Chain A
Amino acid sequence: MNDMNCNICHELLHGYLDNELDTATAMRVAEHLMRCTDCKRRYEEMKVLMVGVKEHAPYYEAPASLARNIFSTLQSQTTPADSQWGKIRSASQSWLAPTFSAAALAASLLLYVATPSGEDVWVDEAVSDHVRSLMVEHLNDVASSDKHTVKPWFAGKLDFSPPVYDLSAQGYPLLGGRLDYLQHQTTAALSYGRNKHIINLFVLPTIEADHAPQSLSKRGYNIVSWRQNHMRFVAVSDLNKSELEIFSQLVQKGM
């Protein structure tokens, strides 16, 4: 029984557009849209409007100085007399360039303060690297969607050759690569896009045996990690779990 009238539809079509309706209601809206040209036109208009705003309205990113100010204020407000804290801070500051964001400092502190065990250490640090790569706007040293540009760039900088794939046909375009560090080892960090999300894929050699992919989530990020052919892979993103798993499968299969 489809008893929907246009007034109700005018509101519900937004929930329909945003994928927020339960299945039954969504079906009713879909049926109404098939029959009512007026609502259908309104729906199409709203879709155009929504896409326009999503893609073209300005997004104001926080200036780097903001995070720096906040975290330095917090640090100065708390336990200045704590010698351990002070020691770590000055040690960190001496080797972190001043332009590094406070998050980078925080991430480095994290390593000293809390050293988690096992696989966790990789994951924790990979998440921090991911966040830092986005915050300091240092995503790529070599920005290219061409694997024949990215892969050779690593030669001479690494003592291994990370697999680089172009997954744009599958909806995960290659954005570029950079050098990063995980557990004090030089690591290849490849960045891939998925709609508006960024995936960092960390690759480094390991002597440990192959291991099937594990999915987990930390600090609001999804992570898939696995070991394959004596390489350790850690994929980090704010992308949803299933899409990140699909990405990981594509990389494993060398698509």
Chain B
Amino acid sequence: MSQKADVKRFEELFAPHMDAAYNLARWLTGNESSAHDVVQESALRAFRFLHRFAGGNARAWLLAIVRNQSYTWLKASAGNRWIAIGDEMPEDDLALGHTQTPEINAIRTEEAALLQQALTALPPAFREIIVLKELEDMSYKDIAIVTDVPLGTVMSRLARARSMLRTELVKLYRHE
């Protein structure tokens, strides 16, 4: 395939997913200019490895690259310090966040700033799964592709992420 045809194919496949790419990078890196750099770098990588894209979901394929680049950026920005991505945390304490009570009804889940603060407080592995599910409306199957985990892990991690988000919101509410 000529390069010209490659560029055309690339644009057809990925131009529609620039918002999704930027949104994920912005949530993972936490700031605009890093998100910009990460997406730009990801797009160039996607172009370079275009021949490996074997069809299927172009958005999931691109977001998997964006996710990797975001983590590369996170690790670099933390210097040599170890950074907790969160996916090594045990998946078995689902009770977390449910020892406290029905206060969630009092929490104003319609407040964007509060939600943003609570989501940002989650480790990246849990933050990203909420972003992919609720904001990108992705299926478990596509989330498994993006986050590189077995399909069976998606639901348990999402359950955990939502419980953690609930806990954060309760915490923020108490501190208000």
Chain A residues in contact with chain B, CB under 8 A?
7, 10-15, 18, 20, 41-42, 45-46, 48-63, 66-67, 69-71, 73-75, 78-79, 82, 85, 102-103, 106, 109-110, 113-114, 131, 135, 196, 219-221
Contact = CB atoms under 8 A, between A and B. Distances in A.
B21 interface: yes
Given A14-B155, A62-B39, A49 B104 contact: yes
B18 interface: yes
A57 B44 contact: no
Interface of B is mostly: helix
Given A48-B104, A110-B8, A131-B16, A56 B43 contact: no
Given A67-B15, A110-B8, A114-B8, A53 B119 contact: yes
Given A48-B104, A70-B43, A82-B4, A54 B134 contact: yes
A78 B4 contact: yes
Contact of A61 (B4, B22, B43, B116): B22
B145 interface: no
Interface in B21-52: 21-23, 26-27, 32, 35-36, 39-40, 43-44, 47
Nearest to A88: B4
Interface stretch (B68-76, B77-85, B106-114): B106-114
A67 to B, nearest CB: 5
B47 to A, nearest CB: 6
Contact of B155 (A11, A51, A69): A11
B51 to A, nearest CB: 15
B67 interface: no
Contacts of A56: 109-112, 115
A20 B6 CA distance: 36
Contacts of A13: 159
29 contacts: A11-B94, A11-B159, A14-B159, A45-B102, A45-B105, A46-B166, A49-B169, A52-B115, A53-B115, A53-B119, A54-B134, A56-B112, A56-B115, A57-B134, A60-B23, A61-B23, A62-B21, A66-B18, A66-B40, A70-B18, A71-B11, A71-B15, A75-B7, A85-B4, A103-B11, A135-B15, A135-B16, A135-B18, A196-B137
